[in-house]
Amino acid sequence: MESTKKIVPLKGYNLSAILDGCRQGIPTWQNALYEHYYGFANSICIRYASTDEDALEVMNDGFLKVFKGVLSFVVYGDESTLPVVFMAWLKRIMINTSINHSKLTARRISWTVADNTLNSVASHMEDPMENMAYNDLVKLIQQLSPAYRSVFCLFAIDGFTHEEISRILGISVGTSKSNLLKARRNLKRMLEQQMQMVMAS
């Protein structure tokens, strides 16, 4: 369910040259990388943020980590794999930065859900959001609580397993499954409310 916006070739330079410039800390190259991958990075961060402004803040923090970590980013073997490997690396940084931001802003929210009766069916429930337009889904996701939003994005969009989510968020596998189910139910309820408003207008 990734954004369908395609990454076009960098203006006159290949990615390897841009990264070499970033490793030297040259602002021109950093800006070129930022502008080129802005849409891709934003499409990730916006799913985990409650507002577009929060997403922009998280994305900028993520790019700072990219610029700091690019010195240790090395691709061995075929240079043709560089764009794919770099985008996977960038995506992981943006997800981790988004999750860390969500944790900081949700300290007052308990990540523990006691409703264990939902756990056994959470991973088998059909996703009612799968046919929604990407941008419409993002707007609904932003209305979820940080706990539900993080689990939903990690599982339903970014493809992590409940075991991986458990380690990333520091919650139990059962809580991950339960939060996913409740996130889907809340999203379905919000979608139904929107449809009712459209029908009534």
Which tens digits make up the pLDDT trace of 34-66?
999 999 999 999 999 988 999 999 999 999 999
Quick check: 8 pLDDT over 50?
no
- pLDDT over 50 (residue 101): yes
Q: Among 174, 180, 188, which residue's Cα sits nearest to residue 158? A: 180
The model's confidence at residue 106, banded by pLDDT at 50, 70 and 90, is low
Residue 53 in any domain: the answer is yes
User: Alpha-carbon distance 176 to 190, whole Å?
Assistant: 21
- Which residues does 137 contact at the CB level (< 8 Å), separation at least 6? 1, 129, 187
Residue 107 has pLDDT above 90, yes or no: no
Same domain, 87 and 123: no
DSSP track, 84-101:
HHHHHHHHHHHHHHHHHH
> Would you state the pLDDT for residue 200?
79
Query: What's the mean pLDDT in 160-177?
Result: 94
* Residue 10 belongs to a domain: no
Q: What is the CATH number of the domain that holds 127?
A: 1.10.10.10
Position 133 confidence tier, pLDDT thresholds 50, 70, 90: low
Give the domain-ending residue among 83, 105, 127: 105
Question: pLDDT grade, residue 110 (50/70/90)?
Answer: very low
**What confidence score (pLDDT) does residue 50 get?**
87
Could you tell me which residues come within 8 angstroms of residue 98 by beta carbon, excluding any fewer than 6 positions away? 44, 45, 47, 48, 49, 58, 62, 150, 153
> Please, are residues 55 and 46 in contact by the beta-carbon 8 Å criterion?
yes
